[in-house]
Amino acid sequence: MPNKNLTLISHTLCPFVQRAAIVLIEKDVPFERIDVDLSAKPDWFLTMSPTGKVPLLKVRQENGEDAVLFESMVICEYLNETQGGAPMYPDDALLRARQRSWIEFAAPIFADAWQFLNATDPTVAKTKRAAFRGKLEHIEAELGSGPYFSGTEFGVVDAVYAPLLRYFDIIDPAVSRQVFGDLPRVLAWCKVLAARESVKAAVSEDYAERFKNHLSQQSALLAF
């Protein structure tokens, strides 16, 4: 049953919402999820969100009042610190800091990937694909024997990248092969993340179709 103590304010396609949803599912925490139409943001949402973005996490406090958290990583950190289940960062301070460094690296890699996926101009698509591929090569050099980013334990860093890598299971496989070719560690990581129950459960069953419709509406090259 949904937990009224935790409410995730969401959008069906937002990868940043998925980060928070994955952590909630990994922690086995019941929560309520409310999707918002970001093209027609309701007043109550704009009142709650100072940035006008999702995700938001509404937390019911002991006094009955709600506190609202925004920004996906703030929400993930809060959930990791306050909810049960296995910790999603290593105990070692240096390893924890290294994972957080690679989480920061997710921001520019997301930007390159998103601009590539949504590109309407072939030159932009080629440039952004090359930039994305270059960043994946850095990750390839960092990954070990796996199966997850830092070994055998699924962590926040995996939850951060899983929504991004999901896109490449949806688009034309030939395009994905061009991007991920000769990156065996990244490819293996993609496969194990795609099979993770929390990653699968973080989106609706029609997510792939919704994303394809989004590309079509944007007139993206990858939609044709």
Categorise residue 70: left if φ over 0, alpha if ψ from -120 to 50, beta otherwise. beta
Structural domain containing residue 173: 93-223
Instruction: Show which of 51, 82, 113 is a domain's final residue.
Output: 82
Task: Tell which residue, 130, 144, 73, 70, has the closest CA to residue 105.
Answer: 73
CATH number for the domain harbouring residue 32: 3.40.30.10
Task: Return the ∠ at Cα 135 (arms to 80 and 200), rounded to 5°.
Answer: 45
Alpha-carbon Rg for the chain in angstroms: 18
Please report which helix (H) or strand (E) contains residue 213, including its range. helix 207-217
Its pTM stands at 0.96
- Residue that finishes a domain, picked among 34, 53, 82: 82
Instruction: Determine, yes or no, domain membership for 88.
Output: no
- 109 and 63 fall within a common domain: no
The predicted pLDDT at position 1 comes to 47
Quick check: is 59 in a domain? Answer: yes
User: Is residue 1 included in any domain, yes or no?
Assistant: no
Give the percent of the chain with pLDDT over 70.
Answer: 98
Whether 104 and 205 share a structural domain: yes
What is the pLDDT, as a whole number, of residue 224?
Answer: 79
Are residue 120 and residue 184 in the same domain, yes or no?
Answer: yes
Q: Where do the DSSP E strands lie in the chain?
A: 6-10, 32-35, 56-60, 66-70
- Whether 54 is covered by a domain: the verdict is yes
Write out residues in the chain with pLDDT < 70, as ranges: 1-4
**154 and 78 share one domain:** no
Total of domains in the chain: 2
Q: Do 75 and 166 reside in the same domain of the chain?
A: no
Note the pLDDT of residue 2.
54
Asked if residue 46 lies in contact with residue 67, where contact means CB atoms within 8 angstroms, the answer is no
Within a domain: 43:
yes
